[in-house]
Amino acid sequence: MRKYGVIGLGQVGATVAYTLVQRGTVDELVLIDQNEALARAQKLDLDDASPRLSSTTKIILNDYAALADAEVLIIATGNIGAIDMNSSKGRFGEYDSNQAIVRDIAPKIVASGFKGILIDIMNPCDVMTDYLQRMTGFPRNRVFGTGTFLDTARMQKYVGQALKTNGKNVAGYVYGEHGNSQFVAWSTVSVNGQPIDQFKTLDLTQLEEDARQGAFAVMAGKHYTNFAIATCGVRLAEAVSADAQLACPVSAYDPQYGTYVGMPAVIGKNGVEKLIQLDLTTEERASLAASAQFIKQNVDALPQPVVES
């Protein structure tokens, strides 16, 4: 039996839940939200869809104890209204509210006996992923975030559009923070197998900025993002269940920097199976180190777990 949990049932969490149910990915789904009326409404809506689906999913509501035998837990809580598109804070608008949520839910997750893989979508993603790991004490491989998985997809989209090809034909990675200090590692990018530097007409600086600002382009119209990030979360969860050994960028713990940061890794049944260390340029390595330092200093500034002597 395949069983997942989702904490946070706003636009992103609800889309994750709907996608899992619609695809028949799970047999049981634990849905948790502090807003009980919202949680109940999401369950009712999904239950109403059930007679028209080819699969059946049992939905369990607001029961942390039910997470004990869950394979994957996706954290999608947050306050999208706190994100300020018009300031440099960006996703850090959720920093204060989400760190408080982590301190609330982490002990409940631990007390449930959950032994699966925890995937974080909360913003700022890298900081909150690191904080979740610290507050739960789970092994670092068992906790990772969506990180630059979505930013890389945006880069693929924009490069593909510029070259009039499908973004799926674009390979390569966005590294660093899921935020303003991210960067495209152009040394890793190719199109139809050809290195990106062979396409002389491309404005790489503009394409990188387009990828960085992709979320805000969506939010300008509907004030939140949900389809793309939920797709990323579901894809990563399914990679865990299938032991897919999927090579993709996520927010993973890198001991070199002592924090979580967006970089390519292999995702399988144990979560982050290994990091993929590519031969970056000197400039790219410096950008990654600077981004990781920014993430770490923001995690270190948060109240830390009490270590019993």
pLDDT surpasses 80 at 295: yes
Q: What is the value of pTM for the model shown?
A: 0.96
Q: What does the pLDDT average to over 105-109?
A: 98
**Euclidean distance between CA atoms 122 and 63, whole angstroms:** 20
Q: What does the pLDDT average to over 102-120?
A: 98
Give the bridge partners for 247, in sequence order: 266
- Strands 259-268, 271-275: pairing is antiparallel
Q: What does the pLDDT average to over 187-198?
A: 98
Residue span(s) of the chain under CATH 3.90.110.10 come to: 149-300
Catalytic residue ranges? 178
Q: What does the pLDDT average to over 33-43?
A: 97
Which strands, in side-by-side order, build the sheet including 170-175?
170-175, 183-191, 194-195
Cis check for the bond before 124: say yes or no (omega within 30 of 0). Answer: yes
Specify whether the CB–CB gap between 218 and 225 falls below 8 A: yes
Angle at 128 between CA 125 and CA 36, to 5 degrees: 100
- Characterize 34-46 residue by residue with b for buried, 16 or more Cβ atoms within 10 angstroms of its Cβ, and e for exposed: eeeeebeebbeeb
Q: What does the pLDDT average to over 263-290?
A: 98
Residue span(s) of the chain under CATH 3.40.50.720 come to: 3-145
- pLDDT-derived band at 308, boundaries 50, 70, 90: low
246 residue type, one letter: L
**Count of CB atoms within 10 A of residue 307's CB?**
6
Give the bridge partners for 62, in sequence order: none
- Which superfamily, per CATH, for 3-145? NAD(P)-binding Rossmann-like Domain (3.40.50.720)
Farthest CA pair distance, the chain: 61
pLDDT digit string, tens, across residues 51-100: 999 999 999 999 999 999 999 999 999 877 777 666 666 678 888 899 99
Helix axes 95-111, 125-136, angle to 10 degrees: 30
Strand, helix or coil at 236? Answer: helix
pLDDT for the residue numbered 95: 86
Q: For all residues of the chain together, what is the average pLDDT?
A: 95
**In this structure, what token pair is assigned to residue 122?**
């909360």
CATH number of the domain located at residue range(s) 149-300 in this protein: 3.90.110.10
